[in-house]
Structure formats: C-alpha cells, structure tokens
A and B are shown apart, each in its own frame.
Chain A
Amino acid sequence: SQQGEEDPQALSIQEGENATMNCSYKTSINNLQWYRQNSGRGLVHLILIRSNEREKHSGRLRVTLDTSKKSSSLLITASRAADTASYFCATEDQGGKLIFGQGTELSVKP
C-alpha cells in the first residue's frame, strides 16, 4: 500500500490549546495537502505545501514539511470546539495520484 501514516490516531484537548498532528509518507511527492472532514461529510481542503517548501501558514494553521524524513506536521493554534473533526494528510505524486493517510480524530472540549 502507498498509504501514509498519521499520528496520533486520536487527540483530545481543551479549547485554547494547540493541536499537533503528524503525517509520514512513503514515496517521492509533488506536494502534501491537509484536509478536514466533519462527521459523515466529504473532505474540505485546508492547506497545501509544495515539495520545495519547508513551512507554510494560513490563519491558525501551520504546516511543516521535511522531505528528507518524508514527514509533515499540522499545527492548529488556539483551538476551538468548532475545530473538532478528522484531519487527513494527502500526498500528490508525480503522476497526479492523491493518496491519503489514515487520519487523526481531533476532539476539542469547550
């Protein structure tokens, strides 16, 4: 399987705390993307980082990429109850195929 791995599988934090999720992948990539999924819904794109970038910010999101370790992390700062969702990383290979990790289930308690 080409599927990457995410950890932790589940994360429970209090509102206002930061949440960090990690993603490892197996093949060379063109870019890495993070998506969010609310329960029972389709996925929504959050942020993309290209293989020649090391860090990217978007609002309360910060993504890092280490291609030598084939890993990425997503940091959500000052979390809110509304951030409760599943978060997935996805890698796009040279052929355009998009492969997802297994996801991290984030629960933010008010």
Chain B
Amino acid sequence: DVKVTQSSRYLVKRTGEKVFLECVQDMDHENMFWYRQDPGLGLRLIYFSYDVKMKEKGDIPEGYSVSREKKERFSLILESASTNQTSMYLCASSQPLGTDPEAFFGQGTRLTVV
C-alpha cells in the first residue's frame, strides 16, 4: 500500500516561531504537494514539487517555503508563523503525467498558531 506520512497529527506553535512540517512517501513518486484546507475554501495549493530540488508556487505561497532534498521527503516551512496560518495542512504525492496520476494523501497536520 502506498503510504504518505506526515510527521505530526496536531501541532501548536507560537507566533513568530519557525515551523517545519514533514512529509514522507514510500512509492517513489515524482510529484509531491502541500495544501492547506480551511472551512469553505476547500484545498488550496501552497507548493508543488515535480522532482528533487524542483518546486513551483501554488496559489498561496506567501509566508511559506519548501524543501525537497530527497525524492521521498517534502518539507513545508513556515518562516515566521502567524495566527492566520492556523489551518489543516495536507501533503500528497503522485506519479507524473501519462502513468497513473491519482494522488495519495497523508492524514493531515492540524496546526494551531497562538
């Protein structure tokens, strides 16, 4: 079974802290994604990575950065956490176009910034 694992299920951080959210997948997928999910807004793409060290901004990259040093790991970094970054964060991975492109999701990290 494909597994996408996010490092924490629940996280509470203080305003101004640097926060790392980690995501690991075990299917050798090329693509990895970070989304945030807020009520009424659905899933919004923060960043997308299509290969090691390659990344593209999504719809809402402001206040976030990412790192993909190894194929299986994609990290989301909140440089200086703010209360408006309180949200559910979802990581996903998928194969590239032309193969079987369904995305597999982690269980989500509910981040609260106080």
Contact = CB atoms under 8 A, between A and B. Distances in A.
A1 B50 CA distance: 20
A42 B31 contact: no
B104 interface: yes
A45 B58 contact: no
A65 to B, nearest CB: 15
Contacts of B4: 42
B33 A3 contact: no
A6 B31 CA distance: 25
B107 interface: yes
Contact of B58 (A90, A92, A97): A97
A102 B41 CA distance: 5
Interface in A81-110: 88, 90, 92, 94-103
B41 A98 contact: no
Chain B's interface size range is 20 to 34
A45 B102 contact: yes
Given A1-B59, A97-B58, A42 B43 contact: no
A43 interface: yes
A41 interface: yes
Interface residues of A, number: 29
Nearest to B91: A42
A99 B103 CA distance: 11
Contact of B107 (A9, A42, A103): A42
Nearest to A31: B101
Interface in A44-76: 44-45, 48
A33 interface: yes
A44 B107 CA distance: 10
A94 B101 contact: no
17 contacts: A1-B44, A1-B59, A9-B40, A31-B101, A33-B103, A42-B90, A42-B105, A43-B43, A43-B90, A43-B92, A88-B42, A95-B50, A96-B30, A96-B97, A97-B45, A97-B58, A98-B31
